[in-house]
């Protein structure tokens, strides 16, 4: 069901704007004049949901509630799951958000009455689980999931909960920051929180998409040897330019796990960016004691996984769901010191969002597909 809470009437917006002006220039509320409600555009998920049915609409810009901020969006980017949400086939919590996208970045232009950690003018991004600030994962955080159960970033001005907001270091551009909340935080969580990667270890990262590419960059910067797999030799060549040490084409080498083990002696960490369909080959690629982090949500294959070497090699298999705000802040610090620039394959204008989703659907990208809102 669509959350219509955001689409307030012109009359109530004007009243809110008048109240905000009455509060004075203290950084709270909006700076609009009474009676002249601000209007801005958003892309809404259509009915029935499909990429072709995305709707570009003008609305009265909402006023943030007490614990929310209003952000003028500079850039956003698309993840595999966003495509599923827009097209109506993402299994968890879908069809509650009206505005898609869990990754973006921009400038705070108004804050709610109870907001104290964030101020107008801050350059920000947001976690996609704003209730997961620190500590261990709890499935409850799914109830608040930006771009899935809560409205997301695909608007000129969007409302976000303060609890998920991270302030960007000056060294991180809006475009870089807009690629991180999903892919970057997930790769950071997997490599450094779960696998506790050490220099000299070997990391296998599957595919050449958003998670795999930032995973490669982070692992290389941390001193690891990195192996990638792809369906295309040209994509493997791109990943080598980005620092990959070994590449194996999983189309032309169906037993790619064995091949990776032959070439490397076995990997210590796997970023399993596909999921259950590729688990057996990932296990074949592993050295004894390796950690496989389940990131991809691919379906259970018809033939059940045999999990080769799971017991014999004492493998560790761990699923993760994105990461906490603390992990996002740690990632941003790491990006500054490691001097990492995320890989952005193509940039689309805000009006071209449908073409950007089609680009993701085509699967020709290495890294990220970005939307510029300015
Ligand atoms: N658990 C989490 O918190 C979390 C967070 C973010 C994403 N994810 C999941 O992680 C996956 C990747 O997301 P993304 O945003 O990076 O997607 P993406 O940019 O669309 O990339 C998808 C990649 O999957 C690769 N691929 C497909 N089948 C493959 C196979 N059999 N072997 C190896 N690679 C294969 C493709 O590689 P080639 O084109 O090179 O062949 C492509 O690069 C998705 O399933 C997504 O839902 C999970």
Are 271 and 311 within one domain?
yes
Is residue 154 domain-shared with residue 206, that is, in the same domain?
no
| 159 and 21 housed in the same domain | yes
Cβ(235) – ligand 1 distance below 6 Å: yes
Rounded Cα distance, 269 and 366, in Å = 21
| pTM of this structure | 0.92
* pLDDT confidence of residue 141: 94
Q: Is the CB of 323 under 6 A from ligand 1?
A: no
Helix (H, G, I), strand (E, B) or coil at 107: strand
Residue closest by Cα to atom 19 of ligand 1: 209
Q: Label the pairing between strands 267-272 and 286-294.
A: parallel
Q: Which atom of ligand 1 is least distant from the CA of 278?
A: 31
Residue 154 resides in a domain = yes
**Looking at 319, 334, 361, which one is the last position of a domain?**
319
Task: Identify whether the C-beta of residue 230 lies closer than 8 Å to the C-beta of residue 208.
Answer: yes
What CATH number is associated with residue 196?
3.40.50.720
Residue 298 DSSP code: B
Most informative mutation of 87, 179, 217, 296 for ligand 1 (most atoms within 8 A of CB): 296
What pLDDT is recorded for position 156? 98
* Position with higher pLDDT, 301 vs 252: 252
pLDDT at 373 over 70: yes
Q: Among 11-25, 75-89, 105-119, 189-203, whose mean pLDDT is lowest? A: 11-25
Ligand 1 atom closest to the CA of 208, numbered from 1:
43
In a shared domain, residues 229 and 355: no
Residue 112: what are its φ and ψ, rounded to 5°?
-75, 170
Q: Are residues 230 and 278 in the same domain?
A: yes
Beta bridge partners of 359: none
Q: Say yes or no to pLDDT of 349 above 90.
A: yes
- Mutate which of 204, 208, 211 to test ligand 1's pocket (most atoms within 8 Å of Cβ)? 211
Span from the CA of 228 to the centroid of ligand 1 (angstroms): 12
**Same domain? 13 vs 136:** yes
- Note whether 166 and 278 are same-domain residues: no
Tell me, yes or no, whether 197 and 130 share the same domain.
no
To test the ligand 1 pocket, which listed residue (270, 272, 273) has its Cβ within 8 A of the most ligand atoms? Answer: 273
Residue span of the structural domain in which 88 resides:
4-179+342-372
Give the tens place of pLDDT for each residue, 205-250. 999 999 999 999 999 999 999 999 999 999 999 999 999 999 999 9
Summarised one tens digit per residue, pLDDT across range 152-166 is: 999 999 999 999 999
- 191 domain residue, yes or no: yes
**Does the residue 332 lie in any domain?**
no
Residue 367 Cβ < 6 Å to ligand 1:
no
Looking at 278, 304, 319, the residue that finishes a domain is 319
Residues 6+ apart with CB under 8 A from 144: 129, 130, 131, 150, 161
Q: Judge if 195 and 46 occupy the same domain.
A: no
Q: Whose CA is nearest to atom 25 of ligand 1?
A: 207
Query: Could you tell me if residue 133 is inside a domain?
Result: yes
Q: Which atom of ligand 1 is nearest to the CA of 295?
A: 1
Q: Using 50, 70 and 90 to split pLDDT, how confident is the model at 61?
A: very high
Question: Residue 35 CB: number of other CB atoms within 10 A?
Answer: 10
Confirm whether 326 is domain-assigned. no
Looking up residue 360, the CATH number of its domain turns out to be: 3.90.180.10
Question: How confident is the model at residue 94, as a pLDDT?
Answer: 60
> How far, in Å, is the centroid of ligand 1 from the Cα of 211?
7
Q: Is 363 in the pocket of ligand 1 (CB under 6 A)?
A: yes
Task: Let me know the angle formed at the C-alpha of 154 by 274 and 13, rounded to the nearest 5 degrees.
Answer: 145
C-alpha distances in angstroms, 61 versus 10, 71, 72, 153, 343? 9, 10, 10, 14, 32
Counting atoms of ligand 1 from 1, which one is nearest the CA of 79? 15
Is the minimum distance from the CB of 321 to ligand 1 under 6 angstroms?
A: yes
In this structure, the answer to whether residues 217 and 303 fall within a common structural domain is yes
Residue 332 is predicted with a pLDDT of 98
Q: How far away, in angstroms, is 166 Cα from ligand 1 center?
A: 25
Q: Is 210 in the pocket of ligand 1 (CB under 6 A)?
A: yes
How many independent structural domains does the chain possess?
2
User: What confidence tens digit (pLDDT) does each residue in 80-96 have?
Assistant: 999 999 998 887 766 67
Tell me, what DSSP letter sits at residue 238? H
Tell whether 336 is covered by a domain: no
Which mutation among 101, 188, 207, 227 tests ligand 1's pocket best, with the greatest number of atoms within 8 A of CB?
207
Give the SS3 label for residue 76.
strand
Is residue 330 situated within a structural domain?
no
Question: Does 361 lie in the same domain as 313?
Answer: no
Report, as an integer, the average pLDDT of 253-268: 98
**Is position 335 within any domain?**
no
The ligand 1 atom nearest the CA atom of 236: 40
Residue 322 Cβ inside 6 Å of ligand 1? The answer reads yes
Whether 235 and 367 share a structural domain? no
């Amino acid at each position: 069901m669509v959350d219509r809470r955001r689409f307030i009437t012109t009359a109530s917006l004007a009243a809110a704007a008048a109240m905000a002006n009455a509060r004075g220039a203290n950084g709270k509320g909006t700076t609009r004049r009474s009676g002249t409600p601000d209007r801005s555009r958003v892309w809404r998920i259509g009915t029935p949901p499909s990429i072709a049915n995305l709707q570009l609409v003008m609305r009265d810009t909402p006023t943030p509630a007490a614990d929310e901020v209003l952000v003028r969006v500079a850039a956003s980017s698309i993840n595999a799951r966003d495509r599923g949400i827009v097209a109506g086939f993402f299994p968890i919590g879908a069809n509650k958000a009206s505005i898609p996208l869990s990754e973006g970045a921009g400038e705070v232009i108004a804050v709610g009455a109870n907001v104290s950690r964030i101020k107008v003018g801050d350059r920000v991004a947001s976690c996609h689980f704003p209730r997961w600030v620190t500590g261990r994962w709890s499935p409850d955080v799914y109830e608040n999931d930006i771009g899935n159960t809560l409205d997301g970033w695909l608007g000129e001005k969007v409302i976000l909960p303060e609890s998920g907001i991270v302030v960007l270091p000056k060294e991180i551009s809006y475009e870089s920051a807009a690629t991180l909340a999903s892919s970057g935080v997930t790769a950071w969580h997997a490599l450094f929180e779960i696998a506790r990667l050490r220099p000299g270890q070997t990391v296998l990262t599957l595919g050449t998409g958003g998670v795999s590419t930032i995973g490669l960059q982070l692992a290389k910067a941390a001193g690891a040897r990195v192996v990638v797999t792809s369906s295309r030799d040209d994509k493997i060549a791109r990943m080598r330019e980005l620092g990959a040490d070994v590449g194996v084409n999983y189309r032309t080498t169906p037993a790619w796990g064995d091949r990776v083990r032959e070439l490397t002696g076995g990997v210590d960490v796997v970023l399993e960016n596909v999921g259950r369909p590729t688990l057996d080959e990932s296990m074949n690629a592993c050295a004894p004691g390796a950690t496989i982090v389940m990131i991809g949500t691919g379906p259970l294959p018809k033939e059940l996984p045999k999990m080769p070497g799971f017991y014999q090699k004492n493998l560790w298999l761990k699923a993760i769901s994105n990461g906490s705000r603390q992990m996002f802040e740690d990632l941003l610090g790491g990006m500054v010191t490691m001097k990492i620039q995320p890989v952005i394959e193509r940039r689309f204008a805000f009006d071209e969002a449908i073409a950007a989703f089609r680009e993701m659907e085509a699967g020709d990208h290495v890294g990220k597909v970005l939307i510029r809102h300015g």
